[in-house]
Chains A and B, each alone.
Chain A
Amino acid sequence: MSAMENTNSLRIGKPYAEIDNDILKPLETFPTKTWWIAFLVAASALGMFGIVLTYSFFKGLGIFGLNNPVSWGFYIINFVFWVGIGHAGTLISAILYLFRQKWRTSINRAAEAMTIFAVMTAAVFPLIHVGRPWFVYWIFPYPNERGPLWVNFRSPLLWDLFAISTYFIISLVFWYMGLVPDFANMRDRLERFKSKTKIGQLLLDVKKITLRVISLGWVGSAKTWHHYEKMVLILSALATPLVLSVHTIVSFDFATSVIPGWHATIFPPYFVAGAIYSGFAMVLTLMIIMRNVFKMEAYITMKHLENMGLVILVTGMMVSFAYTMEFVMAAYSASHNEQYVFLNRLTGPYAWAFWVMFTCNVVSPHFMWFKKLRTNITVLFIISIVVNIGMWFERFVIVVTSLHRDYLPSSWDMYIPTFYDYAMLIGSFGLFFTMFLLFVRSFPAIAVAEVKADEANEELAQHH
């Protein structure tokens, strides 16, 4: 377990120019075949997402598997799933920063990007759900001429809007601020590129001007860095409570109700632990792909992957603890409804979903106890995907099994997702991966300046 220490040197041992070249290579060369294939797959899924979405606007919600007791289906499951994924990025950049976990520098950029894209993907679902997305601005409380018509401040769904939009804005600012020194680096490097054709030169000029604008006149002086470091510290302190607040409020969507299986006071910390669990699993999946495709083994080392494996182990056990408490309390409660819901989860028609969740979330992280397994890329990759399958099913279990058997057996119904539900689920991955693939081609996927700063510090420490 002592792998969380940062004694083992994280030194890369390359000249700074080479670090620049390595990390910025994907941005300065024409995309590879692998990238194109991945992009086409993701973009097609996104296309399907758009088509199904448009179709649902014309046809209505009837095309989905929703019915009377199960009035919340894949939409809310996908929403919670993607918001959960969006937790790791700002956790890595803010909380691990405050914890002085130096290993975060190689992975924070991509993780933050993942956060932003995951939150955007998640936001699509409530956006569709409001029925008329072109009136979505109505959910913002401002003096208006519609009555005046105010939003329902007592609804946790509205708190969600505040929590998630705040989180999104701060994460975006965090991400952008981290990018500024790297943009300046790219801007300076661009000087060496020349194009033979006129159109090529024009495009290069556009790129130069854009980078000049978005790097905000960064000069990299000691004074600039001093201000910058202070800003990162303050932003981290502001972002830390936000990381926790988002999934806390998402859990309120369920926990404020009186539905057995939803109304549980342990939901807030339990959802936050689950979100970090799934977020780290997704970071792990993406990092393993990224380091292989872009040959970044020198930057995203085994140490990084192992540490993420350990975070998965710890958060996985926290989630297991929360599951246990729910069952213990249901058994202890002597409340018929409460007990029935949990018994139904174990043995009812959706028991398969529960056991998928149990295997993926409760059993699978325990492989991470063994150093051999958590330093094995194949095992880590499989576990990271298994955990996210489990976390998707966790939300399925919470939403569907709690709803499908209402208080009155006459209102019971099964929730059977249709082709369109699955299309939306796959499509959401399309949306996410399209954005992520564009990101790795247009932004430095590793925080170059931070990695170099750490490298310099490590070097100093070794000379001592």
Chain B
Amino acid sequence: MKKFTLPTKIQQVLLGFTALGIIALAAGFAVDAHRAWAGLLVFTFFLLILSLAGGFFTALQFISGAKWSVVVRRIPETTVMVLPVVGLLLIAVFFGIHHLYEWSHLDVVENDHILKYKSAYLNTPFFIARIVIYFTLWFGLGMALRKVSLAQDESKDPAQRTTLVKLSTAYMLTFAYTFALAAIDLIMSLEPHWFTTMFPVYAFSGLAYSGISAFIILIVTIQKHGGLAEVTEEHMHDLGKFLFVFTTFWAYIAFSQHMLTWYANLPEETYYLEVRLKGDWAIFTAAFWILHFLIPFGILLSRDVKRDGTRLARVAWLTLFMGFVDVVWMVYGGLNIKGFPFGWLELGLFFGAVGVFGYIVLAAYSKNAEVPVGDPMLEESKHFHQPI
């Protein structure tokens, strides 16, 4: 069983990034605490979607019976290890609940009949209880998937694939509903008067987009440092296609949500777009849509880019960053943040997220076999070719 050794240089860089994130956050609290709380939520939610994307991707592979992806599967299987940190960060967010969630102020709720109505759902104890439930389910199922897959490395028992398929089905169904609710709770309720049915799907599209970007970067990084020799340009091509698909999917969902909101022009809905298209936000939003969709879409049409790990990873850095900006876009818009919505704090937090996520995933990854050696489909995956 070949294991990956994490080079010290990479460790240092990632720890440096983490430190950068912590410094940025600390400085943020010193300068503008309101913005720093919002930044903390962005940081937490971004790490949450990255780690959940791993479970989603793993489960998808098992349910669809995909064979090409066996060699790359260990990476998404590992991201669940980031969840404990996310749990701690969520506790920190609970402390900032009054800074973030309008509905947590009882006096405001008392004078607002909509919030008063919603207080049966949007109240602090129930909010915390819900998050704890989602978190337990995500962590429990994600770890179960990981454990069975790791156990298969030793046992080489092909029958464990059946267990994994069943677990994946359970994960997928649980994930669909709990993540939808979590997106409503954590992000949509920042603007507690606002609602739209697409929102959970929008949040999911961001999850898949950022997640696949992170996996590509991790795989290419591991390869650059002598690991994962099994992953060929054929696998890169499929990962690139995944990134292309989720780039397009995000655009489809975002367009549907925003166009329908804009077209119907209902006052209870449109202010969501209005605040994001005024003042500093106009440039921010326009750049966001161009960089999040148009540019990666254009680049990813190329077959050559998708088959070349180095070039694909460059695109993935852009999309990972834009996935982070997407969270900023969702969170900051509702919180009346002063100044341009993206500055040194957010940049620092992005580096911090990369550091935390990269360090934990790579450290956990290097403890076990590089690829699922017990999977009966492994040989087939190694010899995978794009069928043309």
Interface residues of A (CB under 8 A from B): 1-5, 100, 233, 244, 248, 252, 255-258, 263-269, 317, 321-322, 324-326, 328-329, 332-335
Q: Kindly provide the distance from the CB of A228 to the nearest chain B CB, expressed in whole angstroms.
A: 14
Which residues of the partner chain A approach B180 to less than 8 Å between Cβ atoms? 321, 325, 328
Which residues of the partner chain A approach B176 to less than 8 Å between Cβ atoms? 321
- Contacts known (A266-B197, A325-B197, A332-B184); A252 close to B260, Cβ less than 8 A: yes
Contact B67 A265 (CB under 8 A): no
5 A-B pairs whose Cβ atoms sit less than 8 Å apart in the complex: A3-B65, A244-B252, A263-B260, A263-B266, A265-B197
Contact B264 A1 (CB under 8 A): no
Contact B121 A257 (CB under 8 A): no
Is there a chain A Cβ closer than 8 Å to B282's Cβ?
Answer: no
Contact B256 A268 (CB under 8 A): yes
When chains A and B are docked, how far (Å) is the Cα of A119 from the Cα of B348? 53
Contact A269 B256 (CB under 8 A): yes
When chains A and B are docked, how far (Å) is the Cα of A324 from the Cα of B201? 13
Closest to A156 in B: B263
When chains A and B are docked, how far (Å) is the Cα of A6 from the Cα of B173? 24
Q: Kindly provide the distance from the CB of A8 to the nearest chain B CB, expressed in whole angstroms.
A: 11
Q: Kindly provide the distance from the CB of A48 to the nearest chain B CB, expressed in whole angstroms.
A: 39
Which residues of the partner chain A approach B114 to less than 8 Å between Cβ atoms? 334
Classify chain B's interface size. 35 or more
Closest to B261 in A: A265
Q: Kindly provide the distance from the CB of A50 to the nearest chain B CB, expressed in whole angstroms.
A: 38
Interface of B is mostly: helix
Is there a chain A Cβ closer than 8 Å to B200's Cβ?
Answer: yes
Question: Which of B197, B199, B252 has the largest number of chain A CB atoms within 10 A?
Answer: B197
When chains A and B are docked, how far (Å) is the Cα of A1 from the Cα of B173? 14
Contact A265 B65 (CB under 8 A): no
Contact A100 B261 (CB under 8 A): no
Contact A263 B256 (CB under 8 A): no
When chains A and B are docked, how far (Å) is the Cα of A328 from the Cα of B198? 12
When chains A and B are docked, how far (Å) is the Cα of A258 from the Cα of B260? 10
When chains A and B are docked, how far (Å) is the Cα of A257 from the Cα of B63? 38
Which residues of the partner chain A approach B63 to less than 8 Å between Cβ atoms? 1
Question: Which of A100, A266, A326, A328 has the largest number of chain B CB atoms within 10 A?
Answer: A266
Closest to B265 in A: A258
Which residues of the partner chain A approach B232 to less than 8 Å between Cβ atoms? none
- Contacts known (A2-B165, A263-B264, A265-B256); A332 close to B195, Cβ less than 8 A: yes
Bitwise, B176-205 to A at CB < 8 A (1) or not (0) is 110011001000000000011111110000
Is there a chain A Cβ closer than 8 Å to B169's Cβ?
Answer: yes
Contact B177 A321 (CB under 8 A): yes
Closest to A262 in B: B264
When chains A and B are docked, how far (Å) is the Cα of A335 from the Cα of B257? 19
Is there a chain A Cβ closer than 8 Å to B64's Cβ?
Answer: yes
Is there a chain A Cβ closer than 8 Å to B95's Cβ?
Answer: no
When chains A and B are docked, how far (Å) is the Cα of A255 from the Cα of B118? 25
When chains A and B are docked, how far (Å) is the Cα of A325 from the Cα of B176? 11
When chains A and B are docked, how far (Å) is the Cα of A334 from the Cα of B161? 45
Is there a chain A Cβ closer than 8 Å to B33's Cβ?
Answer: no
Closest to A229 in B: B388
When chains A and B are docked, how far (Å) is the Cα of A82 from the Cα of B67? 36
When chains A and B are docked, how far (Å) is the Cα of A329 from the Cα of B63? 29
When chains A and B are docked, how far (Å) is the Cα of A2 from the Cα of B197? 32
When chains A and B are docked, how far (Å) is the Cα of A325 from the Cα of B188? 14
When chains A and B are docked, how far (Å) is the Cα of A332 from the Cα of B120? 10
When chains A and B are docked, how far (Å) is the Cα of A256 from the Cα of B266? 11
8 Å CB contact of B117 from A256, A264, A328, A334: A334
When chains A and B are docked, how far (Å) is the Cα of A166 from the Cα of B337? 45
Contact A265 B118 (CB under 8 A): no
Which residues of the partner chain B approach A264 to less than 8 Å between Cβ atoms? 197-198
When chains A and B are docked, how far (Å) is the Cα of A258 from the Cα of B267? 11
Contact A329 B197 (CB under 8 A): yes
- Contacts known (A1-B65, A2-B65, A324-B177); A268 close to B252, Cβ less than 8 A: yes
Q: Kindly provide the distance from the CB of A331 to the nearest chain B CB, expressed in whole angstroms.
A: 8
Closest to B117 in A: A334
- Contacts known (A266-B197, A332-B184); A4 close to B65, Cβ less than 8 A: yes
Closest to B256 in A: A268
Which residues of the partner chain B approach A333 to less than 8 Å between Cβ atoms? 195
Known: A1-B169, A321-B176, A333-B195. 4 other contacts (CB 8 A): A255-B264, A256-B263, A265-B256, A267-B256
